[in-house]
Structure 1
């Protein structure tokens, strides 16, 4: 059975919801799935002042070496001025040994994100994640147009061909919509399907 890791960072819980939806889709396709988060690196004073979510439902990953145990890794990070968050970047920056040994070569990779606004850098943030995964030798699976939620402009929604996404509004009040969560489930299922074809 293909093993899929959904690895994310979330300051306010939006990407935690997206991670659960991705995991749901991957499990529906028949994969074994773990949902883990990267460690918080912001100082406690910043976490408190910015009212970051601290009551997380998913455990922190044990370290970068754990990545080698998965056939597919789906990475989620909010945008930070057009790039992945420093928390996620810091985690991957510690994985030079895995890169040197080629431990992730040929595995499946994917990305998902959240922004406050419609034009807040979703696609470039996804590319910042995808670029990292490509450097580790991973094969990328996006959110293809087989998902009908990518079409239409009658409601505000996330979703790009490069990965699932959601919008939070500037105060974080908007939660992922069913279109956003549907895209996450679809992408999770597609990643799992590809992993199963390649790894059983």
Structure 2
């Protein structure tokens, strides 16, 4: 037996049972499957813990036919009225169902409108902006402030940014510098500072405000 062992080549002794090679194979048969399992778990869980931003380039032609919703932060829309004067519509966030849909849901919106006597600002919590008609349908309170101090407060109204007109077809209450008003519907010309009420129209004059003006 001793002579047979001596007659083995170094390669045969290295591959013999109980040799270092045999022990290495036994260890790897346990370690490798465990390492593969850990790596697979890491690859699966890594996207869930990733906090970095991902940059990518979209093909405009493909975006136009996409059906997924598009959400934007700090969105800005620009346009012009019927007289060529600019307006800017800012929103804290904007949600558009698809690029083929002209309606955009806005939150924390503010419209800067250029008037004859200077810029005016219109604010609302939320609304829907139609990019084709340049109209904003506002849900909830609406605050309008002009450069000369004119103020109009109302709610649930539609603002036409092209014509500078505000329309509310449901029961409305509001306030102008002269006092408070209410009615079943309202049409306001923001440029001319006029408000027309229809249906159960009421206007309560504030003498102090009227005298100051």
- State TM-score, norm by structure 1: 0.24
Higher RCO (Cα < 8 Å, 6 or more apart): 1
- Richer in helix (by share): 1
TM-score, normalization by structure 2: 0.23
More strand by share: 2
